[in-house]
């Protein structure tokens, strides 16, 4: 306080300077708050020219790889498993023996049916001989009656005996046919005791071991039963795609599909849309389509996760820009172009997308440099220094030159 009283002029001068400095700071702060970027500030940005080339329209979905054929192997006869000739991971050929059921009882049944058939055929032969004898007796009786050596009753008896012998022969022949069917059934059961592969493929699952009891009726009464083995055919694989309702008109049988699996990041597997379920699921409002993909090297396995691109058409001479150049704000989509050293905000409408490029259907003419790097640092009308970026994607169709 003493110093202030001794030097009042100096104190007043210092206070005045402080007031001026505070005013300048406040003015600068308000100016930046109102005007944003200082007028003399120029932002350096990277730009790229839109390109025109054909663009494949793709529908991208995710799905699980499934075997072309899959079957649970059951036994068609009752018994105990005698031998299992294959294990998980083994490749089997069509008609190869996979499992053997103990067939002792079925072999006995075949032998018994053969013996019964042979005995019945012997009865047929004896009856045929009896018919021949009855026919001779009937002929002699007819001759004797003609000469009136015997009565009519004797002829009637001979006729009845012959007819009875013929009827007995027909009965025995019917028994032969029945025995033949029984023999065929016994041989079939014996054949079923050797379980064979219905198609070539890999054993994916083995549920039972030798000595396990199996029931021939299990496979026909329970679709959820595990079975003895599970066999997969992956020479061709399939994927099921659930197409959303708005894309249903785009899909057609025969369209090309490309599959990418995480297990093979550098490979693209090509297939064909083979089947379309001509109905939508009421719950999800989607329609299932099926894509078949040749898999001769068996590289794709059942259960693999895959991303599938279904090529449903081509947009010719489409105007395209990098997807990174697009800014999305809620429902708005826009890019920044460079015009006369200024950044200009241009709303756009996007179309199909392919890899890192996106089609622009409205908003651009194709002659404007589009800001790719630095778009988040500028606003509409901001001064920019544009640096063109080299791109490996040269336009397939030359762009028209800017109008002078």
CATH of 43-57+316-388, one of 2.60.120.200, 3.40.50.1820, 2.60.40.1120, 2.40.420.20: 2.40.420.20
Taken in order 89, 90, 94, 100, the sign of the CA dihedral is: negative
pTM: 0.65
How deeply is 180 buried, as exposed, middle or buried, from its count of CB atoms within 10 A (0-12, 13-18, 19+)? middle
pLDDT at residue 84 tops 90: yes
Residue 224 and residue 152: Cα distance in Å, rounded?
Answer: 75
Q: Which residue has the higher pLDDT, 314 or 40?
A: 314
DSSP annotation of 315 reads E
Q: Which CATH superfamily is domain 60-67+234-307 in?
A: Efflux pump adaptor protein, beta barrel domain (2.40.30.170)
Strand, coil or helix: what is 162? helix
375 φ/ψ angles, rounded to the nearest 5 degrees: -65, -25
Q: How confident is the model over 177-233, as pLDDT tens digits? A: 999 999 999 999 999 999 999 999 999 999 999 999 998 876 544 444 678 999 999
How deeply is 296 buried, as exposed, middle or buried, from its count of CB atoms within 10 A (0-12, 13-18, 19+)? exposed
Q: Which residue has the higher pLDDT, 375 or 144?
A: 375
State mean pLDDT over 340-362. 88
State which of 13-22, 251-260, 313-322 shows the largest mean pLDDT: 251-260
DSSP 3-state helix, strand, coil percentages of the chain (rounded to 5)? 35, 40, 30
- CATH node for 104-192: 1.10.287.470
pLDDT at residue 347 tops 90: yes
pLDDT given for residue 136 in this prediction = 84
Q: Contact 320/254 with Cβ under 8 angstroms?
A: no
DSSP annotation of 105 reads H
The CATH-assigned architecture of domain 75-102+195-227 is Beta Barrel (2.40)
Q: Which residue has the higher pLDDT, 397 or 104?
A: 104
Q: How confident is the model over 186-199, as pLDDT tens digits? A: 999 999 999 999 99
pLDDT at residue 145 tops 80: no
Residue 301 and residue 294: Cα distance in Å, rounded?
Answer: 12
């Amino acid at each position: 306080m003493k110093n202030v009283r001794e030097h009042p002029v100096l104190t007043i001068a210092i206070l005045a300077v402080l007031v001026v400095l505070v005013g300048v700071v406040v003015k600068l702060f308000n100016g930046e708050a109102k005007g944003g970027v200082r007028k003399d500030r120029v932002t350096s940005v990277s730009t790229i020219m839109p390109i025109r080339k054909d663009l494949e329209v793709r529908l991208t979905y995710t799905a699980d790889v499934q075997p072309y054929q899959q079957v649970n192997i059951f036994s068609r006869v009752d018994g105990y498993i005698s031998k299992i000739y294959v294990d998980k991971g083994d490749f089997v050929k069509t008609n190869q023996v996979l499992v053997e059921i103990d067939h002792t009882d079925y072999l006995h049944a075949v032998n018994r049916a053969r013996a019964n058939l042979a005995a019945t055929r012997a009865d047929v032969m004896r009856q045929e001989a009896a018919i021949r004898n009855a026919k001779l007796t009937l002929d002699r009786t007819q001759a004797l009656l003609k000469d009136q050596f015997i009565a009519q009753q004797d002829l009637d008896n001979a006729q009845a005996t012959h007819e009875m012998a013929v009827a007995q022969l027909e009965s025995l022949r019917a028994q032969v046919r029945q025995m033949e069917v029984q023999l065929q059934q016994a041989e079939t059961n014996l054949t079923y005791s050797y379980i064979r592969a219905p198609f070539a493929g890999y054993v994916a699952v083995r549920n039972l071991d030798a000595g396990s009891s199996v029931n021939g009726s299990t496979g026909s009464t329970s679709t959820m039963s595990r079975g003895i083995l599970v066999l997969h055919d992956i020479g061709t694989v399939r994927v099921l795609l659930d197409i959303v309702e708005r894309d249903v008109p785009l899909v057609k049988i025969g369209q090309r599909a490309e599959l990418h699996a995480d297990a093979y990041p550098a490979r693209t597997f090509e297939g064909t849309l083979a089947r379309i379920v001509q109905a939508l699921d009421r719950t999800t409002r989607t329609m299932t389509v099926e894509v078949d993909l040749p898999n001769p090297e068996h590289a794709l396995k059942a259960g693999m996760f895959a991303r599938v691109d279904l090529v449903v058409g081509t947009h010719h001479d489409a105007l395209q820009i990098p997807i990174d150049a697009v800014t999305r704000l809620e429902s708005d989509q826009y890019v920044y172009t460079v015009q006369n050293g200024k950044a200009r905000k241009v709303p756009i409408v996007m179309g199909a997308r392919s890899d890192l490029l996106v089609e622009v259907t409205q908003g651009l003419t194709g002659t404007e440099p589009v800001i790719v790097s630095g778009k988040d640092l500028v606003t509409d009308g901001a001064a920019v220094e544009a640096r063109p970026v080299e791109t490996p994607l040269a336009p397939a169709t030359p762009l028209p030159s800017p109008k002078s």
